[in-house]
């Protein structure tokens, strides 16, 4: 019995059980199966809605060769189960059926383990009383990624609310929305200070206990400002937070939405916050926040100043407790912010350059899938005083490329030290925009090519301050 056979049988059982049990909803389906059946566009709440169908999953779930392939990633799903006594296929429609579900269930439970079942709330509930397992449906459902974190849900909602207006489409081009599954970095991939970890733990608890905070009237919480030099991990940490908390990530750069060449700037700001509120719970990440102060102090176009005033008012009006939106601002230039900007945030999180111990930890993480002879991260850390996480990433990349020119995939400590020396000779590169993504996911596990993409500051140490 292959894993492919078990995967396809699980898919067939899941679609069958879900179709029959009306107490289950889309959050009971594993994301890989859910995305196959999600209807992303849909109607409003009114009875006269002229759209053909609502957003959601319609029963019964049709199990076919095509849907099984999409959900399991198996090229020939029918071949995987064709030899079983309880399966059949309709040659014309491609439908795959369980001819004897009880027999299929007995076969499946003899081969599946608790880990597999707990990753599938539909089956965890169905087999909760099975004597061979210790299953807890509520725990399985809680651990399952919610539909609001799926790409199909995000795309469907954006299409539903913003798809028909040309101006809205222009605005959406200025906002990057990532599903958690599309964020390649996790908090475990980052080197964090104790203070930074404390801030993350506090905000995680605030998200978990939003109802309690609302009940006691504590609503001014959930607006963070990340400050620090480029390359110190502000964006990476925000994205990793979204990944680990299963929250959509809405990212916007102020210089983009406030550009006088890109439509009505104040309207763009309004729409940005509307997108975040529609996608809630989510993280709204506003980069280049120092643009606010620059604009307020300057003789910029009146439209830009209106946009900044709109932004500050929008920040006042958004709430983690009321709107389920965690707001994170980021700036490389905290010295340029004025009091009006500072007071919008209830927590300031400092992202300094890493010290020697942290640089060594960063090096251990970004080299963990590399083969390096006599690797001494402490020695490399000592030789890289003043470098950020993104700088260290560039040093490692240079060492790898240099070794490849000699047809070597095993590096030496000397390779790394030479790369450090070369980097310092070209330290002007530290202040240049590098190839898109080179600053991102700086301590992401091992893969030096796994940058997730905006060419901005991303490192791995952040410490709470102020």
**Per-residue pLDDT for 432 more than 60?**
no
Lowest mean pLDDT of 121-135, 235-249, 306-320, name the range. Answer: 306-320
Strand 56-57 and strand 38-39: pairing?
Answer: antiparallel
Mean pLDDT over the full length of the chain: 84
pLDDT in tens, 127-152: 999 999 999 999 999 999 999 899 99
Instruction: Please say whether the beta carbons of 344 and 315 come within 8 A.
Output: yes
Residue 159's Cα: distance from chain center in Å? 20
Indicate whether 346 and 373 sit together in one domain. Answer: no
Strand 347-350 and strand 325-331: pairing?
Answer: unpaired
pLDDT in tens, 164-201: 777 677 667 778 999 998 999 999 999 998 889 999 99
Cis omega (within 30 of 0) for bond into 60: yes
**Per-residue pLDDT for 52 more than 60?**
no
**Per-residue pLDDT for 330 more than 90?**
yes
Q: Is residue 156 part of a domain?
A: no
**Per-residue pLDDT for 46 more than 90?**
no
CA dist., res. 224 & res. 329, Å (int): 6
pLDDT of residue 357: 94
* Residue numbers of the domain that contains 237: 172-350
CA dist., res. 464 & res. 195, Å (int): 5
Q: Is residue 103 part of a domain?
A: yes
**For the whole model, what pTM was predicted?**
0.78
Q: Is 19 exposed, middle or buried (0-12, 13-18, 19+ CB in 10 A)?
A: middle
Count of structural domains within the chain: 3
Instruction: Please say whether the beta carbons of 307 and 348 come within 8 A.
Output: no
pLDDT of residue 425: 81
Q: Is residue 276 part of a domain?
A: yes
The domain that holds 197 is classified in CATH as 3.40.50.300
pLDDT of residue 441: 35
Indicate whether 222 and 299 sit together in one domain. Answer: yes
**Per-residue pLDDT for 99 more than 90?**
yes
Q: What does each C-alpha distance from 464 to 249, 347, 377, 427 come to in angstroms?
A: 22, 8, 26, 28
**Per-residue pLDDT for 440 more than 60?**
no
Among 350, 382, 412, the domain boundary falls at 350
Q: Is residue 164 part of a domain?
A: no
Instruction: Please say whether the beta carbons of 217 and 287 come within 8 A.
Output: no
Residues 6+ apart with CB under 8 A from 122: 14, 17, 18, 21, 24, 28, 29, 30
Q: Is residue 166 part of a domain?
A: no
Instruction: Please say whether the beta carbons of 390 and 457 come within 8 A.
Output: yes
pLDDT of residue 42: 45
421 half-sphere exposure, CB direction, 13 A CA radius: 6
Indicate whether 438 and 306 sit together in one domain. Answer: no
Indicate whether 369 and 343 sit together in one domain. Answer: no
Indicate whether 95 and 77 sit together in one domain. Answer: yes
- Answer with the residue of higher pLDDT: 43 or 276: 276
CA dist., res. 74 & res. 66, Å (int): 10
Question: At 53, is the pLDDT very low, low, confident or very high (cuts 50, 70, 90)?
Answer: very low
- Answer with the residue of higher pLDDT: 67 or 217: 67
Residue 404's Cα: distance from chain center in Å? 32
**68-77, 318-327, 334-343, range with greatest mean pLDDT:** 68-77
Pick from 32, 35, 37: nearest CA to 8: 32
Question: At 439, is the pLDDT very low, low, confident or very high (cuts 50, 70, 90)?
Answer: very low
The angle subtended at Cα 204 by Cα 40 and Cα 351, nearest 5°, is 105
pLDDT of residue 267: 77
**Per-residue pLDDT for 401 more than 90?**
yes
Pick from 120, 126, 180, 125: nearest CA to 144: 120
CA dist., res. 94 & res. 298, Å (int): 66
Instruction: Please say whether the beta carbons of 240 and 185 come within 8 A.
Output: yes
- Answer with the residue of higher pLDDT: 343 or 10: 10
Indicate whether 183 and 325 sit together in one domain. Answer: yes
Q: Mean of the pLDDT values across residues 409-432?
A: 81
Indicate whether 210 and 114 sit together in one domain. Answer: no
Q: Is residue 322 part of a domain?
A: yes
**Per-residue pLDDT for 409 more than 90?**
yes
DSSP states of 388-456 as a string? -HHHHHHHHHHHHHHHHHTT--EEEHHHHHHHHHHHHHTGGGGGS--STTTTSSTTSSS-TT---S-SS
**Per-residue pLDDT for 446 more than 50?**
no
Indicate whether 343 and 411 sit together in one domain. Answer: no
218 half-sphere exposure, CB direction, 13 A CA radius: 11
Indicate whether 226 and 285 sit together in one domain. Answer: yes
Indicate whether 18 and 102 sit together in one domain. Answer: yes
pLDDT of residue 306: 75
The domain that holds 461 is classified in CATH as 1.10.8.60
Sign of the C-alpha dihedral computed for residues 383, 388, 393 and 394 taken in this order: negative
Question: At 367, is the pLDDT very low, low, confident or very high (cuts 50, 70, 90)?
Answer: very high
Lowest mean pLDDT of 138-142, 319-323, 432-436, name the range. Answer: 432-436
pLDDT of residue 54: 60
Among 350, 378, 413, the domain boundary falls at 350
Indicate whether 317 and 263 sit together in one domain. Answer: yes
CA dist., res. 78 & res. 97, Å (int): 10
pLDDT of residue 426: 73
Q: Is residue 374 part of a domain?
A: yes
pLDDT of residue 264: 63
pLDDT of residue 450: 37
Residues 6+ apart with CB under 8 A from 459: 231, 232, 233, 236, 351, 354, 362, 388, 389, 390, 442, 443
Pick from 251, 197, 260: nearest CA to 457: 251
Q: Is residue 360 part of a domain?
A: yes
Pick from 335, 223, 333, 322: nearest CA to 288: 333
Indicate whether 327 and 373 sit together in one domain. Answer: no
pLDDT of residue 430: 47
Question: At 156, is the pLDDT very low, low, confident or very high (cuts 50, 70, 90)?
Answer: confident
């Amino acid at each position: 019995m292959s894993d492919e056979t078990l995967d396809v049988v699980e898919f067939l059982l899941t679609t069958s059980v879900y179709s029959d049990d009306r107490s289950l909803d889309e959050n009971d389906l594993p994301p890989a199966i859910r995305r196959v059946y999600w209807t992303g566009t849909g109607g409003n709440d009114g009875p006269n809605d002229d759209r053909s169908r609502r957003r959601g999953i319609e029963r019964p779930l049709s199990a076919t060769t095509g849907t099984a392939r999409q959900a399991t990633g198996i090229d020939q799903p029918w071949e995987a189960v064709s030899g079983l006594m309880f399966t059949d296929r309709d040659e014309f429609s491609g439908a795959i059926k369980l001819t004897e579900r009880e027999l299929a269930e007995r076969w499946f439970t003899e081969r599946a383990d608790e880990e597999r079942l707990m990753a599938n709330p539909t089956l965890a509930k169905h087999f909760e009383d099975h004597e061979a397992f210790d299953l807890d449906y509520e725990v399985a459902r809680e651990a399952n990624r919610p539909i609001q974190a799926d790409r199909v849900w995000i795309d469907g909602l954006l299409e539903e609310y913003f798809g028909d207006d040309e101006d809205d489409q222009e605005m959406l081009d200025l906002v990057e929305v990532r599903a958690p599954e599309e964020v390649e970095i996790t908090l475990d991939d980052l080197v964090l200070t104790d203070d930074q970890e404390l801030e993350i733990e506090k905000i995680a608890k605030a998200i978990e206990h939003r109802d309690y905070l609302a009940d006691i009237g504590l609503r001014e919480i959930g607006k963070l400002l990340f400050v620090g030099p480029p390359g110190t991990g502000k964006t990476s940490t925000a994205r990793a937070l979204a990944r680990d908390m299963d929250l959509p990530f809405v990212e916007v750069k102020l210089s983009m939405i406030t550009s006088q060449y890109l439509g009505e700037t104040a309207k763009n700001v309004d729409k940005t916050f509307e997108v975040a509120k529609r996608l809630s719970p989510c993280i709204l990440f506003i980069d280049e926040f120092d643009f606010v102060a620059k604009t307020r102090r300057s003789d910029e176009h009146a439209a830009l100043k209106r946009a900044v005033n709109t932004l500050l008012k929008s920040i006042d009006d958004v709430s983690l407790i009321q709107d389920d939106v965690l707001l994170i601002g980021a700036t490389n230039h905290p010295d340029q912010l004025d009091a009006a900007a500072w007071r919008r945030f209830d927590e300031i999180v400092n992202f300094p350059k890493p010290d020697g111990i942290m640089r060594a930890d960063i090096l251990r993480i970004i080299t963990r899938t590399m083969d390096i002879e006599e690797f001494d991260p402490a020695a490399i850390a000592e030789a890289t005083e003043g470098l950020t996480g993104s700088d260290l990433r560039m040093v490692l990349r240079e060492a790898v490329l240099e070794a490849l020119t000699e047809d070597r995939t095993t590096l030496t400590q000397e390779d790394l030290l030479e790369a450090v020396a070369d980097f310092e000779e070209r330290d002007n590169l530290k202040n240049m925009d590098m190839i898109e993504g080179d600053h991102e996911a700086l301590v992401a596990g091992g893969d030096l090519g796994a940058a997730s993409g905006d060419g901005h500051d991303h490192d791995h140490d952040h410490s709470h301050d102020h």
